[in-house]
Structure 1
Amino acid sequence: MPAHRSGTPRTSRRPRLAAAGTLLTSLALLLALPGAATAAPAGKDVPSRGTARMGQGVIEHDGQGGLPRDSRVVQTEGVDVSSHQGNVAWGTLWNSGVKWAYVKATEGTYYKNTSFAQQYNGSYNIGMIRGAYHFATPNTTSGAAQANYFVDNGGGWSRDGKTLPGVLDIEWNPYGAQCYGLSQAGMVNWIRDFTTTYRARTGRDAVIYTATSWWKDCTGNNAGFGATNPLWVARYNTTVGELPAGWPVQTIWQYTSTGPVVGDHNRFNGAIDRVRALANG
């Protein structure tokens, strides 16, 4: 009679244990990549798609200090707005000294600002130099697809002296992990895909809006855009602080989210003629 063997052969357990160990190691390495996780942190309230706005994550990640000190360098006040502001009192802003504005046009390839016409045309009609910005979601579609969507829905440019080049708003992900699940190299490639497509469509280099800490974390502090794309940096403090690599100076500084009339106020690094020069290309 054949001998009876009870239980599972011991030799069968080792391959399973080894495979489990390999899987855990792979998951640990994957999660260690910058921005590799795609889910929102536990306990974080995730806003509705389309509601993201410029500078939404600045205070949470970088904090907030005082207002900028007076400077001997001439600077020109501006604002940025989105659907959160609804119909904007452009006359009040103009009378307070605001001379330029950027208006959110699009997000991803799924959202268009419902207040865009009043904001974009209203700022123009009051006499401001204005432009449009796109809130990037690099985990939803390609840079080229989002650049095309932006241009097709308000983000174009014309040499009329009152239209600024479009802005790529690339910052913390309000819907999940801060780097949108991309590696640093993947993020750089995505940004380049957007900016290359935008230039091909409009003839202008897009302005890049970001924060230094995000740029370091999510692009590895890539220095490859400073020679072509003007920098709009976010820092809510008394000085502009450290800039991302590749940019010796900022073109625009978003210095507060609690300014008068609308929250987000900015300083263009130059007099109004320099704002007009950027508009004219």
Structure 2
Amino acid sequence: MSKITVIGSISTDFVVTANKRPEVGETITGNDFSTTFGGKGANQAVASARLGGDVYMAGTVGTDLFGKELIQNLTENSIHVDFVEPVTQVPSGSAHITIVDGDNCIVYVPGANNVIDTNRIEKLNELIQTSDIVVVQNELPQEVVEQIIEDCFAQNVKVIYNPAPARFVSQSILEKATYLTPNESEFKLLFPDMTLSEGLAHYPNQLIVTMGSKGVYYHDGISEKQVSSYSVAPIDTTDTTGAGDTFNGAFAVALTAGLDMDSSIRFGNLAASLSIQKFGAQGGMPTLAEMKESENYEKEWNIK
């Protein structure tokens, strides 16, 4: 079994639905409330673990009740949590989501996720060295993300960099990531002077742009490729954010299982399509058994 290390955010999502958003100073009655486990790092770790990956999570949570529940959730998903560190001075990360008429607005509070620093990353040196692939996202301080990518590059360890949420990243860091997986809007922020085709050609077999229903685009060194998505209707059109995290987690599993680029992307696409059939970013993430039940599962993938 391949070792996948995810270094990233671990948070709780607090979701409220209402008929309207309150004005300043106004109190209204909402329709529903739920809490779900989130954080892009934790989401991608759960996606990989459910598909059979041997997953190690590294990050920080608070010493509050939410932090304990976040660690318990990772453990229940068969994820190694030895490198998840509780910190006392700040609360666990959280996202506060209000949904009205199908549109959501979000207040994200990094909390403990911003406490992780380059000193902590140095302590992960052995973990990184012994990993088959490392996955990292942008819900950590930028200097930490850069240190992770630099360390992986120096130790010849493959790294998937999912640059989300979008922000500026230096060219030198982008070039050192084994795989870059932005969506369309993130691509435009990272490469404002390039068309999609120009960017793909500049980073062959490295830049993988996810474009929702349009599929996934990459360049194989000879020509530009489009890998079609699987046509499904989400159970809730406001609740598709977990699809991208599912893709990245599944993509990591497929790569470490020895699949080629095209097959790894198709595997990721199928997992992402299944993930939007249930509520919650992690709630819909499929198991390997559920993947194999799909009519679109390819036996040639031979993932165990």
Higher RCO (CA 8 Å, separation ≥ 6 residues): 1
Common topology (TM > 0.5): no
**If the length of structure 1 is used for normalisation, what is the TM-score?**
0.31
**If the length of structure 2 is used for normalisation, what is the TM-score?**
0.29
Structure with greater strand share of residues: 2
